[in-house]
Amino acid sequence: MSLTPHGPGFSFLDAFEVTVADREGRGRTWLDPALPFFADHFPGRPLMPGVLLIECAAQAAGALWASTLAANAPAHFILAQVAQFKIQQPVKPGETVETDVALENRFGDLAQFVVTLRVGSIEVARGRLVLSQGQ
């Protein structure tokens, strides 16, 4: 079972666990050096594109929100807003990104999350995202 509604080529969530029921969770993804974007995103010095770090965070936020819904409820979410996001360190092929996500507010079909991404003990990015419950 996939953790996201994405196809395998665009899923950035290998594992997800709820750490505080209905409020917090942690996602994890290993960045396979063979992923196609690494070949061209700075050849010879590949880095994870920042927009894909945001996607990692959004997918973890979606997994957390889905965990709060009834088993038969549709769990399709889309990124509605990047309210704030700061990349602090580069992320390289072969690294594992852990994303801590916390549900901050819910506004009907919208939910706001605080996200922190780490590689090992190093914080690489943090921000605030809003997801929309898609149709």
Q: What whole-number distance in Å separates Cα of residue 15 and Cα of residue 30?
A: 10
**Residue 115: its H or E element:** strand 110-119
Q: Is 6 annotated in the active site?
A: no
DSSP character at residue 8: G
Q: Are 116 and 128 in contact (CB under 8 A)?
A: no
Nearest CA among 51, 45, 48, 28 for reference residue 36: 48
What is the enclosing helix (H) or strand (E) of 38?
Answer: helix 36-40
Q: How far apart are CA 90 and CA 16, in angstroms?
A: 23
Which position among 6, 28, 41, 128 bears the catalytic label?
41
Q: Could you give the residue numbers annotated as active site?
A: 41
